[in-house]
């Protein structure tokens, strides 16, 4: 429901019937030309409804208060109405008159009448509200900040989190007795009528620079202050994730990134297809006359906003203010409600620029339970428009967080708005909390559960998830390992593990060290490090895990035969150099003595002689790679970097050289190019695409060919072929395409009952096309290793032929908020032995 003034009911009718504007009329056509003005101020009144009484002929005034209404009668009775004014009946006695109609302001409450929107048939055609929003869209180019040649301003950002809906019983729990002082710092201003307990605050003061041609932007952080949970959370990672969660909302963009999802802007080029619009009032905001438009989704389950737009009536059709929220029916996890408010100012009379940005979100599992209130407030000041900027401004990078930590005195002097007492106390309260033993124990348990490491100060053990695993060759495998922490040293790190397989009765071990050439630890971006490692370990050929630890208990359960294994004795040395612009390169050397395991045998094709059985091969390689990931953000975890997705590509090129000169048994060169990109096709979700191409030059046996990434576990691997067996396909050249699209509930949200489950649908498509040259095919080369076979001497490894390997799938995610289940169908090479053409796999996936 929405509320309007009773006296302006005709205006609402106007929206659903026809609109004839002054600009569209021929001056010679018979009709009434007029202007509607305020009786007290003589200001023109835009969006007033003008109707011929007793007929369906109706129009609305334009931004200058003018109107044209075709008529042929000698006298015409007009009914003129507008929200906020008394309706007026006027008799016009000539069809050629230019009339001036004055409306008196009304004292009637806007809440006098309630009209249910579904009772009115909404149309875009001849709808003045849609015509008005079309004008706003048409003027976007001149109103957005990118229209300036140069722009700079100072930006102050404040992000806060607080506990909400805290019950009296929770506060009185005996287990919380030692931290009860946290509940003393109460804020009653964030949510009317409700207390919240702040526990996190982050402030950032920066300078922003923009240049139109060549297009360049840069934001230089001058000061940064936050509640730190050092030892438990990575501060850079927290910052990256908050930036992803609370991205800048540009209402002039067609798509708005919000809470990890893509929403269609209410003033996007296609917005009238998905939104309903209603002109409700004219208001003055800071002496600027604006039209107030209510907008709402046509389908309440789509990723769309609803709220009010305030558009200037000075001919610019610029957004002066916007207030919006999201509908409770859309598929957002953990979100109770949202409020977004943005204010724009006409700076130096040169253009409308965002001056204030407020975003508030209530997170929680259910509407009435304990929740988390998050708020992001941004102020923009000290604007400079079209003042030329040098190239050096855009080459400067922000210093690291620890280098922009400023004193309290600096913040008191430079904050664009002062903190309240409650906000100031967050820093001291959280610092005190982190010294409480009960809090430390709780955080350690959480860290073990999510990071799989247990901290003992200078040393930590883990990954705990890999302490037990199983495969058919090694049997049950116990493993124990650990590494030093930054408390031991930031510059140098030691790590290692020891493992034992109870079936093959062999020990495996690893020892390594990493040295940082920067003052920061080996985990802190940008990394500049050297790593040396020696290990005796096993390798499942073709298994490359996606953000999972090799040898974890979760990956032990597999389908089909799991009897192929390499035993490796390896020495590796790797140098990594990352740059602030997210370009990086690496150089490395690897020596591996690789021997056969399980059903794998290093037998040449003419293997009747025992001389043709090779116990091991020597692999000696140098490799180098370059990687470019513009605007990349990630959370630095204990095991690996967890990327924060964005719209920018990740490009990586790798070169590997094996040579007999450096101890390799073979001579070869290998090149590999991979490109990752995520696309955001507006409200229908997002698409992740990976394209790869690789070529090996030289004559090599199958262990040195490309063994394609397979998966025989029941855990879905996004980058693997989930119905391909380990070591099933090899090639010396290939190209592949991996497409994964998430609809974000776009389809399920329209199905009754199903939409209440908040499920999200996925589709996947993976294709691999490649081949094996005769020089690397043991069918033509008797001195190469025979491809592996089963116990009946049937081949289990194949070269890719003219037919590509293809598998497709559909999936359902957001089951219980964190489970994804995929149904994968293999379409080609179904005659290969022991293959599964259909599988059901699962993975854990947390999304908002």
Asked if 623 and 575 count as a contact pair (C-beta separation under 8 A), the reply is no
For residues 580, 583, 589, 594, the Cα torsion angle rounded to the nearest 10 degrees is: 120
pTM for this structure?
0.79
Q: Which residue has the higher pLDDT, 456 or 184?
A: 456
Which residues, 6 or more positions from 423, have their beta carbon under 8 angstroms from its beta carbon?
160, 187, 198, 201
Residue-wise pLDDT tens digits, 477-520: 999 999 999 889 989 999 999 999 999 999 999 999 999 999 88
Chain position carrying tokens 């860290």: 447
Which three-class secondary structure state does DSSP give residue 639?
coil
> Residue 256 pLDDT > 80, yes or no?
yes
Give the tens place of pLDDT for each residue, 3-12: 333 333 333 3
pLDDT class of 309 with cuts at 50, 70, 90? very high
Mean pLDDT of 214-242: 81
With cut-offs at 50, 70 and 90, classify the pLDDT of residue 122. confident
**Percent of the chain having pLDDT more than 90?**
48
Spatial contact of 766 and 736, defined as CB atoms under 8 Å apart: yes
Segment of 278-282, 317-321, 372-376 carrying the highest mean pLDDT: 317-321
Tokens encoding 120: 């009115």
CATH 2.60.200.20 describes domain 452-844: no
What pLDDT score does 428 carry? 87
98 compared with 836, residue with greater pLDDT: 836
- pLDDT given at position 52: 82
CATH-assigned architecture of domain 2-121: Sandwich (2.60)
Q: Please list, residue by residue across 317-331, b when 16 or more beta carbons sit within 10 angstroms of its beta carbon and e when fewer do.
A: bbbbbbbbebbeebb
> What are the pLDDT digits (tens) for 599-611?
998 988 765 544 5
Per-residue confidence (pLDDT) for residue 817, from 0 to 100: 85
Confirm if 552 and 563 have CB atoms less than 8 A apart: no
Report domain extents, the chain: 2-121, 140-433, 452-844
Tens of pLDDT, residues 75-99: 788 888 877 778 888 888 765 557 8
Name the 3-class secondary structure at 86.
coil
Contact in structure between 296 and 99 (CB atoms under 8 Å): no
Residue-level pLDDT at 738: 98
pLDDT reported for residue 413: 92
């Amino acid at each position: 429901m929405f509320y309007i003034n009773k006296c302006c009911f005709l205006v609402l009718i106007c929206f659903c019937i026809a609109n004839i504007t002054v600009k569209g009329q021929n001056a010679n056509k018979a009709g009434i030309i007029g202007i509607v003005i305020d009786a007290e101020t003589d200001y023109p009144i835009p969006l007033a409804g003008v109707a011929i009484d007793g007929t369906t002929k109706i129009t609305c005034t334009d931004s200058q208060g003018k109107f044209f209404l075709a008529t042929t009668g000698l006298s015409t009775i007009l009914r003129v109405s507008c929200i906020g004014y008394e309706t007026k009946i006027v008799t016009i006695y000539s069809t050629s008159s230019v009339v001036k109609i004055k409306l008196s302001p009304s004292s009637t409450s806007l809440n006098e009448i309630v009209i249910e929107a579904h009772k009115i048939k909404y149309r875009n055609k001849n709808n003045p509200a849609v015509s008005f929003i079309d004008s706003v869209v048409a003027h976007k180019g001149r109103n957005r900040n990118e229209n300036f040649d140069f722009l700079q301003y100072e930006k102050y950002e404040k992000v806060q989190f607080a506990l909400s809906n805290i019950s009296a019983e929770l506060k009185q729990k005996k287990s919380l007795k030692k931290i009860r002082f946290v509940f003393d710092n109460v804020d009653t201003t964030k949510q009317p009528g409700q207390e919240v307990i702040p526990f996190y605050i982050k402030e950032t003061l920066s300078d922003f620079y923009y240049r139109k041609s060549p297009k360049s932007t840069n934001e230089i952080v001058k000061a940064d202050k936050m509640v730190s949970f050092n030892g438990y959370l990575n501060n850079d990672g927290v910052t990256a994730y908050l930036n992803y969660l609370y991205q800048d909302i540009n209402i002039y963009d067609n798509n708005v990134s919000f809470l990890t999802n893509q929403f269609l802007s209410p003033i996007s080029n296609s917005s009238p297809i998905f939104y309903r619009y209603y002109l409700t009032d004219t208001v003055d905001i800071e002496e600027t006359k604006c039209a107030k438009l209510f907008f709402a989704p046509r389908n309440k389950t789509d990723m769309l906003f609803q709220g009010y737009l305030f558009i200037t009536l000075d001919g610019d059709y610029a957004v002066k203010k916007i207030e919006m929220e999201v509908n409770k029916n859309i598929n957002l996890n953990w979100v109770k409600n949202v409020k977004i408010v943005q204010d724009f100012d006409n700076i130096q009379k040169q253009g409308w620029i965002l001056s204030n940005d407020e975003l508030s979100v209530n997170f929680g599992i259910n509407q009435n339970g304990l929740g988390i209130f998050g708020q992001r407030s941004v102020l923009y000041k000290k604007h400079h428009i079209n003042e030329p900027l040098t190239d050096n401004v855009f080459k400067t990078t922000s210093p690291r967080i620890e280098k922009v930590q400023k004193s309290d005195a600096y913040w008191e002097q430079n904050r664009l708005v002062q903190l309240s007492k409650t906000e100031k106390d967050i820093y001291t309260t959280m610092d005190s909390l982190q010294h409480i033993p009960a809090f430390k124990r709780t955080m350690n348990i959480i860290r073990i559960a999510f990071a799989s490491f247990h901290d003992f100060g200078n040393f930590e053990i883990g990954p705990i998830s890999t302490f037990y695993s199983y495969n058919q060759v090694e049997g049950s495998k116990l493993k124990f390992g650990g590494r030093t922490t930054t408390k031991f040293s930031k510059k140098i790190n030691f790590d290692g593990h020891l493992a034992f397989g109870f079936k093959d009765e062999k020990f495996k071990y690893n020892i390594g060290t990493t040295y940082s050439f920067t003052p920061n630890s080996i985990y802190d971006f940008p990394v500049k490090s050297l790593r040396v490692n020696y290990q005796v370990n096993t390798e499942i050929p073709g298994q490359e895990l996606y953000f999972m630890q090799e040898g974890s208990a979760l990956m032990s359960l597999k389908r089909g035969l799991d009897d192929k294994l390499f035993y490796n004795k390896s020495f590796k040395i790797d140098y990594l150099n990352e740059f602030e612009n997210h370009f990086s390169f690496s150089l490395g050397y690897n020596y591996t003595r690789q021997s056969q395991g399980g059903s794998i045998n290093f037998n040449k094709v003419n293997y009747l002689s025992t001389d043709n059985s090779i116990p091991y091969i020597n692999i000696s390689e140098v490799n180098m790679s370059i990687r470019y990931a513009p605007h990349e953000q990630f959370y630095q975890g204990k095991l690996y970097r967890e990327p924060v997705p964005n719209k920018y590509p990740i490009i990586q090129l790798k070169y590997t050289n094996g040579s007999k000169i450096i101890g390799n048994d073979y001579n070869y060169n290998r090149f590999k190019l991979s490109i990752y990109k995520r696309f955001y096709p507006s409200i229908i979700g997002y698409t992740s695409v990976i394209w790869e191409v690789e070529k090996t030059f030289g004559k090599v046996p199958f262990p040195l060919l490309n063994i394609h990434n397979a998966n025989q576990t029941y855990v879905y691997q996004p980058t693997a072929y989930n119905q391909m067996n380990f070591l099933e396909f090899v090639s010396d050249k290939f190209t592949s395409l991996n497409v994964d699209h998430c609809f974000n509930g776009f389809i399920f949200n329209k199905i009754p009952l199903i939409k209440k489950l908040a499920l999200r649908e996925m589709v996947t498509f993976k294709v691999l096309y490649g081949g094996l040259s005769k020089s690397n095919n043991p069918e033509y080369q008797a001195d190469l290793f025979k491809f592996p076979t089963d116990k009946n001497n049937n081949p289990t490894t194949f070269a890719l032929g003219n037919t590509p390997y293809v598998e497709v799938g559909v999936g359902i995610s957001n089951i219980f908020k964190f489970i994804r289940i995929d149904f994968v169908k293999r379409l080609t090479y179904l005659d290969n032995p022991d293959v599964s053409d259909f599988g059901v796999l699962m993975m854990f996936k947390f999304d908002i």
